[in-house]
Structure 1
Amino acid sequence: MTANNTTTAPSTSPAPIQIDLSLLTLVEAAVIIFGMIVLGRIVRKIIIRKSKETSLTWIINEDTADIVFRMFVLGGIIWALYLLGIMSYGLGPTTVGNIAFAMGFFYFSYLIAKKSKDYMIMSSGKKARPETIVKAKVFYYLFITIAFFMALSFAGVSTELSALLAAAGITGIVLGFSAQTVVSNFISGVFMYFDKPLLIGDQVKIGELEGVVEDIRILSTRIRAWDGTLIRIPNEKLFNSNIVNFMRYPVRRVDVNIGIAYAADAERAVEVIKRVLDEIPLVLVEPEPLVYVDRLDDSSVVVAIRAWAPSEKWFEVRTRIIHNVKRALDEAGIEIPFPQRVNWFANELKIRIEEPPNKSGENGEGA
């Protein structure tokens, strides 16, 4: 008989987790949590007191103090659970402790990112500029994305997710080809952010569309037209259009043309118009307004008015100039003529005039 020599393979199953729930360990865990809470409150009070003495309020403030206090409390709880042995419990390729630490890290990263974004927006004033809002959002999402991948690494599951991320990348490429318009609008929105051709509240003309910029988003821009309707313009189309911004510079020129009769005194009309401009407070002295005879039209002598006004008051100044100039010319007896036309005929016209019949009788005889 041949001896049957068999060897037993070593067991690969993880060793059982030893959870220590003795009275001494429980007391130690409670002391750790209590001590971290007390220490967190002390640090919180120190930060709040320092926030009243420093100019770096965007870092040292009450919100930061609350976040630090929560970190101490959570840290104490995790420490106590490690002491009890609960955090060493295995979950697949990782442990409860790694997952808890990763979740805590991501949670506090989210709080820091959110508070930083809110502060960046609030520090720019009551009406935040669009570029400030975009910067704050970019910082927020970038911070959250980095914190997310770091949390995966801390949790010990980043290797297992690599295949899933690769599949997601391939899916993203396929979706990118099928959503070229969305991607194009997004890229155009990024270029618009750096180019800054318009801001919220600007009065603009884009192609044949005119209105006030209501909102600038990643994929589109919204314009409120003069008649109160909403116009949504994709950023790709906006980026490739001619944009006229009426509010980019602090002053804007008012152009008005007035026609006077050929029989009127043009020099006197210019003097009357200049006097009218001097009486309008919103017409700027520098640059100096210009009034001059511009051209000779078919029915009138055209006098050009070129006056500068604050951009936000342009429409008000223009309507006031037209109204006051019309009234001043009327008072000065300077005619603003209707269109007239003189017709010349190559041959002499023969006109037959028929006299109306006599009322007294059909044949012109009395009754």
Structure 2
Amino acid sequence: MANVTGNTTTNSPRGVGSLIPIEISLWTGIEAILIVIGMIILGRILRKLIIRKSKETTLTWIINEDTADIVFRMFVLGGMIWALYVIGVMNYQIGSTSVGNIAFAVGFFYFAYLIAKKSKDYLIMSAGKKPSSDVQVKAKIFYYTFITIAFFLALSFAGISAELSALLAAAGITGIILGFSAQTVVANFISGIFMYFDKPLNIGDQVKIGELEGIVEDIRILSTRIRAWDGTLIRIPNEKLFNSNIINLQRYPARRVEIEIGIAYSADTEKAIEVIKKTLNEMPLVLAEPGPVVFVKELGDSAVVLSIRAWAPSERWFDVRTEAVSRIKKALDEAGIEIPFPQRVNWFANELRVKVDKES
């Protein structure tokens, strides 16, 4: 029979884990409980102090209720680990490491995750209500970089450095295999990085990509999401987006409105141009510099085609164009300038003869 001390045995194989005899006396148990209670009380006190301080300082991005909760959790977890050390549980060996090392590594990674998430949220919130894609991409890169570093540090703290080297080697081989089997994912990822430095578009921009047109909703590592004018969501892989012709309709503050309208050949062209210019000058959203331009573009089959060009704020381009078309039509009607229907003149090479039936 195995010798039993406390709740553990002493004849376990070393390869699986060395069980250390644990003798828990009454005083040891009371000490462990007092440590946990004391750390909880201390954590609550610090939490209240941080929340009170957050109402008096301008550094609310770091001294706030979220920070107070993180500090409280750190004290609670630290108290539990300390108590387990006092009891002796943390000395239990698992392979080449111990329970204490693993517990410290898990706690370290957990709080690193909380700090990384809080920092990412702060970077995004500090940019305003509508953060640019540049800010969001930077925040995500910082978050994933911080988490990755914390993960490998946690493995090191856990005391499995030898296993870590084997893990990295396996990860490298796995990465090569996945690289060949997931070329599209890798291409989208690399294209996303290139787009970050190229910056052809930002969140909130009105864009046209091939036959697709809408507003950029989100730019992610592998894809970009666009909300079309009909309210549907379009997901475009970054590789396809990077290799496409991207027309950014809102990159610059002003955008040109182009309208073509035909008037009758019998109409006074100069008068029509003056009427149109006057109409555009009366519109508050039409820019005075550069001013509107109206000229005869061509002599069409049924009308003299006038080309109208005016500049407007990019975010109000559609409103200006629709209003300009409506006002110009009304102004030409009031001036007696005809906008003709399409007309055709039929010409016959020989004399046209028509037979008339008298009875009918």
TM-score interval, normalised by the smaller of the two chains: 0.7 to 0.9
Aligned length: 347
Correspondence for 2:199: 196
Over 3 Å counting, the alpha-carbon distance change for 1:300 and 1:351 in structure 2 is: closer
Deviation at 1:170, TM superposition (A): 0.5
Aligned equivalents of 1:269, 1:118: Cα separation in 2: 57
Distance in 1, matches of 2:16 and 2:323, equals: 90
- Tell me whether 1:39 sits opposite 2:56 in the alignment: no
Q: Where does the alignment leave 5 or more consecutive residues of structure 1 unmatched?
A: 1-10, 360-367
What residue is the counterpart of 2:123 in the other structure?
Answer: 120
**Aligned counterparts of 1:316 and 1:159: Cα–Cα separation in 2:** 66
Mean Cα deviation higher: 247-256 or 119-128: 119-128
Q: Report the alpha carbon displacement of residue 126 of structure 1 after superposing the two structures with TM.
A: 3.4
Mean Cα deviation higher: 264-273 or 295-304? 295-304
Aligned to 2:272: 269
TM-score w.r.t. structure 2 length?
Answer: 0.86
Q: Does 1:237 align with 2:240?
A: yes
Of 85-94 and 25-34, deviating more is: 25-34
**CA distance, structure 2, for counterparts of residue 12 and residue 246 of structure 1:** 66
Task: For 1:164, give the aligned amino acid.
Answer: L
For structure 2, the residue ranges without an aligned partner over 5 or more in a row are 1-13
Cα–Cα, structure 1 residues 38 and 209, in superposed 2: closer, same or farther, change >3 Å? closer
**Aligned residue type for 1:187:** I
Q: Does 1:96 align with 2:99?
A: yes
| Alignment counterpart, residue 303 of structure 2, candidates 296, 300, 303 | 300
**SS in structure 1 at match of 2:154:** helix
SS where residue 258 of structure 1 aligns? strand
RMSD of Structure 2 on Structure 1 (CA): 2.8
Shift of the alpha carbon at 1:339?
A: 4.1
What percentage of residue pairs aligned between the two structures are identical?
Answer: 73
**Correspondences of 1:34-73 after superposition (within 5 Å):** 34-73=37-76
Counterparts in 2 of 1:211 and 1:25: CA distance versus 1, 3 Å? closer
Alignment of 1:192-231 (within 5 A): 192-231=195-234
Which of 29, 36, 42 lines up with 2:32 in the alignment? 29
For residue 336 of structure 2, what is the aligned residue in structure 1?
Answer: 333
Secondary structure at 2:207 match in 1: strand
Quick check: 1:136 aligned with 2:139? yes
Cα deviations by residue, 1:264-321 (Å, 9 ceiling, x for unpaired): 2122111111221133232223332222333444443332211122222222221221
TM-score by length of 1: 0.84
Name which of 245, 251, 255 aligns with 1:252. 255
The one of 180, 183, 200 equivalent to 2:183 is: 180
Call closer, same or farther: CA 1:293–1:16 in 2, change over 3 Å. Answer: closer
Residue in 1 aligned with 2:171? Answer: 168
The alpha-carbon deviation at position 99 of structure 1 amounts to 1.2
User: Greater shift after overlay, 185-194 or 32-41?
Assistant: 32-41
Secondary structure at 1:156's aligned position in 2? coil
- Tell me by how many angstroms 1:141 deviates: 1.8
